[in-house]
Amino acid sequence: MATVTLKKGRDKSVRHRHPWIFSGAIARVEGDPAPGATVAVQAADGTPLGRGAWSPESQITVRLWSTDPAALIDEAFFRNRLSQALASRPPLTAGDNAQRLVNGEPDGLPGLIVDRYADFLVCQIFSAGAEHWKDTIVGLLRELTGCTGIYERSEAEVRDKEGLPRCCGRLAGAEPPPLIEIGEGGFRYLVDIRQGHKTGFYLDQRDNRARVARYCREASVLNCFAYSGGFAVAALGNGARLVENIDSSAAALALARQNIALNGFDPDRAQFTDGDVFRMLRRYVEEGRRFDVVVLDPPKFIESRRHLERASRGYKDINLFAFRLLNPGGILATFSCSGLMDRELFERTVAYAALDAGREARVLEWLDQAADHPAALHFPEGKYLKGLICRAW
Ligand code: SAH
């Protein structure tokens, strides 16, 4: 096994169990590890620190599998980690059958995401190490979950950074149907695991959909960045009078329409606008429109620190216009899933938006990612989703 020796003073994060070792922290490599191969990691003075996967193309050149220097990285290791991840999931409400089963680093499996949609699993493999062990992982997932089939959606840009080709398709078991029906919070949704975003559905918003929906009784709701109608279905199911959905993807809106019909809601209670939220919010303000509830669930605007300022302006902009669109006493449910924008900056941005809109906003609830998307205390990068429910006067 090749050995990676860290530079002097660069072992602190590993000792604190952070799983990433950046190229700049490495003094030398003995041996010639292949991408994804297991390497031994040691401090500058030779103290063994753990074992990880070698990823020469990435800035994150080693992702630690274990901080136990004697750990064997083999099938038994993955059986143990996967079993632990499955056992760590919070209990599902009766009728629910969609859940994140493996959440990468916080579950001790760097670069591996596994989501369950009814009887099928969808995997995303984002590291050379997880790619190296793919067949083992897939075999174990079948055995441990008894799923009907496993599908891969490893398409994100991180694959490029790891020097991995983008991969998509059936990995094991049966070919999944074009749309998989799932249950969440008493509602039904169709998930397109082939063409949908990420693995097909935003499971991280499960709890928040239910929390926000409670404020929607008799309300007129503007659901911005609607995707396949997650918040729309929950709002209608909680008695919303009307939900207007805006998204720039016609395919997403078509699925939102299907999801609303699937739950038996009157189609007249939903509207769909294929457009840019930034432009539509401005137009609605000009037209003098008002809503009781506005939901803002934008995609990740920030890919790197360089974009932080421009992205903050984007968040400020949509929140400012959303506040202007609210009736007195109306509810703004606003989110950011950009890990680089921390909670403090997000809250400051929303505070300035309220100020500039001339509204007084009271935070009723602080929201987080769902519990099946755990973060680890030693891995702050795992916390990315944050939200606020504000009442605005
Ligand atoms: N709220 C959704 C998830 C939203 S994901 C849920 O609970 O399932 C973000 C969505 O924003 C995607 O559907 C994407 O198509 C859409 N989007 C991205 N940029 C947009 C823009 N400028 N205007 C409108 N929609 C946009």
Q: What are phi and psi of 75, to 5 degrees?
A: -60, -40
Taking the whole predicted model, whether its pTM rises above 0.75 is answered as: yes
- Based on the fold, state whether residues 48 and 94 are members of the same structural domain: no
Q: Is residue 327 part of a domain?
A: yes
Residue to substitute in 208, 212, 225, 272 for testing ligand 1 pocket (most ligand atoms within 8 angstroms of CB)? 225
| 331 located within any domain | yes
Helices (H), the chain: 12-15, 75-88, 128-132, 134-145, 158-161, 206-213, 230-237, 250-262, 277-286, 308-325, 343-357
Upper half-sphere CA count for residue 236 (Cβ side, 13 Å): 26
Kindly state the average pLDDT of the residues 277-298. Answer: 98
Q: CA separation (Å) from 181 to 6, 39, 98, 313?
A: 48, 42, 9, 37
**pLDDT, position 135:** 98
Q: Are 343 and 375 within one domain?
A: yes
With a 6 Å cutoff on the Cβ, whether 185 touches ligand 1 is no
**Under 8 Å between Cβ of 153 and 198:** yes
8 Å CB contact between 373 and 336: no
pLDDT at 379: 92
- Rounded mean pLDDT, 245-252: 98
Q: Could you tell me which of 278, 269, 271, 265 has the C-alpha nearest to residue 253?
A: 271
Q: Say yes or no: 50 and 81 in one domain.
A: no
Same-domain check for residues 206 and 333: yes
Contact indicator for 50, 64 with CB cutoff of 8 Å: yes
Pairing of strands 38-42, 112-117: unpaired
Taking 90 as the threshold, does the pLDDT of residue 37 lie above it? Answer: yes
Task: Kindly state whether residues 27 and 89 are assigned to the same domain.
Answer: no
pLDDT at 304 over 90: no
Please calculate the CA angle 216-235-340 and round it to the nearest 5 degrees: 95
Do 96 and 230 sit in the same domain of this protein? Answer: no
Final residue in a domain of this structure, among 66, 84, 119 = 66
Mutating to test ligand 1, I would choose from 216, 248, 335 the residue with most ligand atoms within 8 A of its C-beta, which is 248
Q: Is residue 189 one of the residues assigned to a domain?
A: no
- The pLDDT assigned to 262 comes to 98
Contact of 98 with 121, CB cutoff 8 Å:
no
pLDDT exceeds cutoff 80 at 115 = yes
Q: Are 309 and 346 found together in one domain?
A: yes
125 assigned to some structural domain:
yes
The predicted-structure confidence for 186-230, as pLDDT tens digits, reads as follows 999 999 999 999 999 999 999 999 999 999 999 999 999 999 999
> Residue 139: which CATH number?
3.30.750.80
Whether 297 lines ligand 1, by a CB cut-off of 6 Å, is yes
Candidates 173, 101, 180; CA nearest to 139 is: 173
At 222 the pLDDT is 98
Q: State if residue 187 touches ligand 1 by the CB under 6 angstroms criterion.
A: no
Residue 180 included in any domain: no
Domain boundary among 173, 194, 223: 173
- CA–centroid distance, 109 to ligand 1, in Å, is 28
Q: Is residue 311 a part of any domain in this protein?
A: yes
- Predicted pLDDT at 305: 81
CA distance 191 to 177: 10
Q: Is the pLDDT at 253 greater than 80, yes or no?
A: yes
Token readout for 58 is 């990435």
- 187 found inside a domain: no
pLDDT for residue 98 is more than 90: yes
Cβ(291) – ligand 1 distance below 6 Å:
no
Both 145 and 47 in a single domain? Answer: no
**Containing H/E element for 22?**
strand 20-22
The residues annotated with a catalytic role in the active site are: 337
- Look at residue 120 and give its three-state secondary structure: strand
Q: Are 159 and 127 in contact (CB under 8 A)?
A: no
Within this chain, do residues 343 and 231 fall inside the same structural domain, yes or no? yes
**In a shared domain, residues 17 and 86:** no
Name the domain boundary from 66, 88, 106: 66
> Residue 297 Cα, ligand 1 centroid: separation in angstroms?
7
Tell me the pLDDT band of 136, cut-offs 50, 70 and 90.
very high
Query: Looking at residue 379, what DSSP letter applies?
Result: B
Q: Is residue 335 within 6 Å of ligand 1 at its C-beta?
A: no
Of 357, 351, 205, 388, nearest in space to 281 by CA? 357
Q: Is the pLDDT of residue 157 over 90?
A: no
Task: Point out the least confidently predicted range of 273-282, 351-360, 372-381.
Answer: 372-381
Question: For residue 280, what are the CA distances in angstroms to 68, 321, 350?
Answer: 54, 10, 19
For residue 158, what pLDDT is reported?
82
Q: What is the CATH number of the domain that holds 354?
A: 3.40.50.150
Contact 305, 340 (CB under 8 A): yes
- Domain count for the chain, please give it: 3
Domain that residue 159 falls in: 75-173
| Residue 28's CATH number | 2.30.130.10
- CB-based contact 325:281 (threshold 8 Å): yes
In short, whether 249's Cβ falls inside 6 Å of ligand 1 is: yes
Are residues 60 and 87 part of one domain? no
**Domain match, 127 and 227 both:** no
| Per-residue pLDDT tens digits for 313-354 | 999 999 999 999 999 999 999 999 999 999 999 999 999 999
Question: Please, are residues 120 and 180 in contact by the beta-carbon 8 Å criterion?
Answer: yes
Show the tokens assigned to 22.
């950046």
Residue of 16, 186, 30, 20 whose CA lies nearest to 110: 20
CA distance 309 to 341: 10
Query: Domain for residue 190, yes or no?
Result: no
CA Rg value for the chain: 22
